[in-house]
Amino acid sequence: MKRILMVWFLGVGLCLAGTSNGFAAKQKTKHSPRNVKKNSKYRGSSVRKKTRRKARRYRRRYKKRTRRGKRTRRYRVRRKSSRRYRRKSRRYKRRARSRRYRSRRYKRRARSRRWLRSRKRRRWLSRRKKRLRGRKVAQATPKAAPSVPLNAYKLPAREDAQEPQRSLADIMKVVKRNNLDLKILRERVVQAELIRAKTWAMLKPNFSLQGSYTRNEVEVSFGTTVITPINQAVFQAKVQWAFLNFRAIPLLQLAYRTVDQVGQTAKQVRRELLYATTRAYYGVLLSDGFVDISRESLKNAYENLRIAKARLQEGAAPSLLVTRAELDVVKAKRSLIQARVSLRNTKLALAMLLNKSNYKFRPVRPTAPQLPSGSLQDWTKKAMSRRAECKAAKIAVDIAQKRVNELWMQYLPTVALVGSFQKTNFGGLADRDTQWSLTLVAQLNLYDGGARHANLADAHSKYRQASLEYKKAKRQVQNEISQVRLNLKNTKQSLKVAKKQLDLAQRSYKITQERLKANSATPIEVSEALALVNASKIGYLREKLNYELALLNVKRVLGEFKTR
C-alpha cells in the first residue's frame, strides 16, 4: 500500500511540474517578439490605449474652447473644433501605425543581425566573391577585335585644295588697285597739287566781260545829240593784273612744300597699309600651317589607333589603350576643325584690306628677308634720311618758316595794272560810243588794327612747334630702331629654343611609339608625347614667321620696306 501511494504522489507531482513548465513556456512564447504578429489580442494594445487617452484630452480641450468663444460664433467654432479633432485623431492613428511599423522594422533588423553572424551568410559571401573574381578576369582578358588593315584610316582632303595659289606680290597688286584707303589717299594728293594752281592765280591777270541793257521812260537829247536813249545798251571789258605782289612769292613756295609734305605723308600711310597687308598674309600662312600640323597630328593619331587595335587583337594590350587612342583621334579632329575656322577668319581679314567680301586662295611661302647690314648708328642715319615721317616733319618746319615770311611780305606795297574798254549804242555828250582806260594802282596797308602783328606772333609760335615736333619725330625713330633691334634679338633666341624643343619632342615621340609597339608604354605617355609634338610644331612655325616679320619690321623702320 505504501508503495502504491508513493507512485501515485510521484505521478501527480510530475504532472503538476509539466503543466507549470508548459504554461511558462506558453507565456514566454506568447510575449516573445516573434509571436507578436500571431496574437491579435496583444497586437498594438498599448498603442490603442495611448491613442484613446490623447483623443479624450483633445476632446475636453476643444469643448472648453467652444465654451469660451462668443455666442454668435459658437456653432462655427464647434464645427471648426470638430474638424480639428478629426484631423488630430487621424494623425494619432497614423502615428500608431508608424510605431507598429517601427517595431516590425526592429524585428527585421534583429533578423538581419543574426543573418550577418550566421554561417550560411559566410558561405554565400565566399560563393559571391568567386563569381565576381571570375567576372574581373573575363573583363581583363582582351576581346577579339576585327583585323585592321594598314590603309583603314585616311585623312580627309583639304577644303582649299582646288583654290588658286597667290603670292605676297600678287596680294600687294590687288591691294594697291582695290584698297579704299589708298584711293582716298590718292584724292588727297590730287587736292594738294591743286594748291599750286590756286597760288599761281594770284600772279596771273584777271579778265572779265560785262554787258547791260536799260529801258528808259523818255529819251534825253541835246539838239541832235542823244544823251540817254530809250533803249540803252552798254558792253564793258576789264583786265586787272597785280604784277608786283610780294606775298605771292612765299605763298608759291608754301604751296610746293605743302604738296611735298602731303606726298611724304601718303608714302607713310601707304607703307603702313602694305605692312599691315604683309602681317595679314603671314597670319594666313600661320593658319595654313596650323591646318597642315593638325592633319599630320590626325595622321599620327590614326597610326596609334591602328597599333593599339592590332595589339588588342593579339591579346598583348588592354582595351584602355584603344580607348585612349580613340580619344586622341577625337582631339586631333577637333584641332583640325579649329585650324580650319582660324584659316577662314584670317582670309576674311585679308579680304577686308583687298576690298572684297571673300577672297579664296592658297598662300605661298615668300622668301625669307635678309637682315640689313650696319651698326645701330648706321641704321639711325638711314632712317633719318629715308623715313617719310622725318621728311614730313622737316617739311613742316620749312612750311612754318614760309608762313612767317609771307606775313612779313604784307608790310610791302602791291602794284596792279587795271585796263577797261567800254562800248555803248549812243554817243553821249562827247558823241563817242567807245571808250577805254588804263590804270596803274599801288596799295600799301599801313595799319590794320594789329592783326598782322598777332598773325606774325602766331606764325612764330607754329614755327617753334614744328621744330619741336621734328625733334620728337627723330627721337621716336631712334627709339623704334632700338626696339626693333631688341625684338629681333629676342625673336631669334625664341626661334632657336623652339627648334630645339621640336627636335626633342619628335625624338621623344619616336621613342614612345617604339615603346608602344613593344607594349611598354602607357596610353597616357603616348597621348602626352603626341600633344607635345603638336604644340612644338605650332610654336616653331609661329616663331619662324615672327622672325621673318621682325626682319620686315626692321626694314619698315629703316625706310627700306618696298611699297611699289
Q: What is the pLDDT of residues 237-251, one digit of tens each?
A: 999 988 888 888 888
Angle at 292 between CA 290 and CA 298, to 5 degrees: 100
Of residues 102 and 178, more confidently modeled = 178
Closest CA to 210 of 416, 423, 418: 423
- For the record, the C-alpha cell of 387 comes out as 623715313
Of residues 151 and 332, more confidently modeled = 332
pLDDT for residue 398 is more than 80 = yes
pLDDT for residue 61 is more than 70 = no
Sign of CA dihedral 469, 472, 478, 481: negative
Place of cell 603638336: 534
Give the pLDDT confidence score for residue 46 in this predicted structure: 55
- For the record, the C-alpha cell of 57 comes out as 484630452
Of residues 92 and 424, more confidently modeled = 424
Q: Is the entire prediction scored with pTM above 0.75?
A: no
Most confident of 24-38, 87-101, 130-144, 268-282: 268-282
In sequence order, the 6+-apart residues with CB closer than 8 A to the CB of 337 are none
User: Among 137-151, 312-326, 338-352, 514-528, which stretch is predicted with the lowest mean pLDDT?
Assistant: 137-151
Helical residues (DSSP H) of 69-118, grouped into ranges: 74-116
What does pLDDT average to over the chain? 79
In sequence order, the 6+-apart residues with CB closer than 8 A to the CB of 398 are 257
Rounded Cα–Cα distance for residues 66 and 73 (Å): 9
Instruction: Show the beta-strand stretches assigned E in 342-458.
Output: 362-363, 414-424, 434-443
Written as one letter, the residue type at 187 is E
Rounded Cα–Cα distance for residues 551 and 488 (Å): 7
Of residues 215 and 15, more confidently modeled = 215
Q: What is the 3-state secondary structure (H, E, C) of 225-271?
A: EEEECCEEEEEEEEEEEEEEECCHHHHHHHHHHHHHHHHHHHHHHHH
Give the pLDDT confidence score for residue 77 in this predicted structure: 40
Closest CA to 170 of 358, 359, 342: 359
Average pLDDT over every residue of 123-149: 58
Rounded Cα–Cα distance for residues 457 and 451 (Å): 10
Give the pLDDT confidence score for residue 195 in this predicted structure: 86
pLDDT for residue 540 is more than 80 = yes
Beta strands 362-363 and 414-424 are unpaired
Closest CA to 145 of 5, 312, 258: 312
The pLDDT confidence band at residue 11, using thresholds 50, 70 and 90, is low
In sequence order, the 6+-apart residues with CB closer than 8 A to the CB of 379 are 372, 481, 485, 557, 558
Give the pLDDT confidence score for residue 2 in this predicted structure: 54
pLDDT for residue 86 is more than 80 = no
Give the pLDDT confidence score for residue 226 in this predicted structure: 77
> Looking only at Cα atoms, what is the longest distance across the chain?
214
Please write down the long-range contacts of 369-377, taking CB distance under 8 Å and 24 or more positions apart: 369/548, 369/551, 369/552, 369/555, 370/551, 371/488, 371/551, 371/554, 372/554, 372/555, 372/558, 372/560, 376/481, 376/482, 376/485
286, 541 contact by CB (below 8 A): yes
pLDDT for residue 159 is more than 70 = yes
529, 512 contact by CB (below 8 A): yes
Gyration radius (Cα) of the chain, Å:
56
